Amino acid sequence: MASPVTRTAILWLEPDQLNLLQRIVADAGLRVVGVGSPVLGRAAELAAAFDAHALPLDDLRQALTSVEGDLFLLASIGDFGRTRHAASASGTTAHTGIDDCLVLDQRRNRGTLIVSFEPLPASILDLAMPAPSGGVGLPVGSSDAEQAGVVLGQQSSSPVLPVTSAVAHWAAFIPLFRLGPSMRAAADVIAHLGPLHTVAAEFVSGAGEGPVGSRVFDAVEAITSLLGEPDSVDASYVWPGRGKVVHPVPDDSLRGLQGAIAASMRYADGRAATLLAADSHVGSGRWSRTLTMIGDGGRLRVHDRGFEFVSADGKIVDRSAELLQAHTNDESAAASLFAHQLNALLDPHTAGRQDQPIDYARVLSVAGAALLSARTAEPESPGTILRMARTT
């Protein structure tokens, strides 16, 4: 029997993510050929921790252009993809997120898989960037299209604003709860609940496992895949050092966000959803994701290790076996979830197969409404956020 092909990987991470990435690399059977970090001066140390021959890298844009490998695994990317300013001989120049988007698109067209622990793009406004690959955009003026989110321009009669690429994302986001082993195992059970009317998501991460923006993106994606886009979102933001520092205000992007977000989502027909997302900067402790769904047929609670279905009369109807192997700590359990979806992306038999692609326009408009609500202290409409993006 032929031995499995070893994939080469370039990693981008922060020092506190070292243990998590080492476990992911081992579980996925990767050979690390290059390592970089958004923290200056740490690349050589981190590279040596993976492989004595791994190249230490200082610039992600340059690495994407010149370093060869099958996979770029972006655990933390600093300000890559965000507009920033730098001094030059001719004055101050702006380096825009679209420059980085183009680099990612060109690298992806060379057949390299690019995977990120953070959503890329992370703001609905980023979806209005010119499309290097063309053909995908934000639908304009159609209520059906609004429900569908991102649509293929060649298949729609509605005019579109271009977005970043033909797959409407800059990098594959992992781990996505909807595509995890627990939700797949519970797929048949969900039908027994009948129409869902209440959904609650609690997604938190520990040190090195991703910022709160990633957990918000994941939780909103799970909720909206079940209930669709809410009419309004009422959210609050809890920042690190609350009570000791001046109140920071989140901007329109999920990038660079630390702390906790709590949100209530309302639907015109009486359905409801709640969201709690947090990271280690406010004491969330360790990785945990739980999604609770309630319909007239009962309650289904799904978490990363399995699920439990309780009927409307209180009986336990179905319960999954342990879906993750036993672990000595929760950090390695989280690593298994990251590696599980990474392996699925690397497997030529399963790569690219999704029950439903991520609807970036819908997810980012809901997340954008939550961030705006946290600033205004008022309920905000995802539809308004989407219309703002169309006119930007």
The string of pLDDT tens digits covering residues 41-96 is: 999 999 999 999 999 999 999 999 999 999 999 999 888 877 544 444 555 444 45
The overall average pLDDT reported for the chain is: 83
In tens, the pLDDT along 132-171 reads 443 334 543 333 333 333 222 222 222 233 333 334 578 9
Residue type, 125: L
Q: What confidence tens digit (pLDDT) does each residue in 248-272 have?
A: 778 889 988 999 999 999 999 999 9
**d(Cα 37, Cα 136) in Å, to the nearest integer?**
32
Write out the CATH class of domain 177-390.
alpha beta
Digit-coded pLDDT (tens) for 93-128: 444 566 788 899 899 999 999 999 999 989 998 875
Contact 141, 160 (CB under 8 A): no
How much is the pLDDT for 97? 61
In CATH, what number does 7-162 get?
3.40.50.720
Structure token pair of residue 1: 């029997």
User: Which of 237, 215, 268 has its CA nearest to residue 373?
Assistant: 237
Helices and strands, number each (H, E), in the chain: 11, 19
Which residue intervals of the chain bear CATH 3.30.360.10? 177-390
pTM of the model: 0.86
Query: 320 falls in which pLDDT band (50, 70, 90)?
Result: confident
Q: Which residues contact 50 (CB under 8 A, 6 or more apart)?
A: 11, 21, 22, 25, 32, 35
What is the pLDDT averaged over residues 345-373? 84
Q: Do residues 320 and 307 make contact, with C-beta atoms less than 8 angstroms apart?
A: yes
| Tokens standing for residue 200 | 């609650």
Domain with CATH 3.40.50.720 in the chain: 7-162
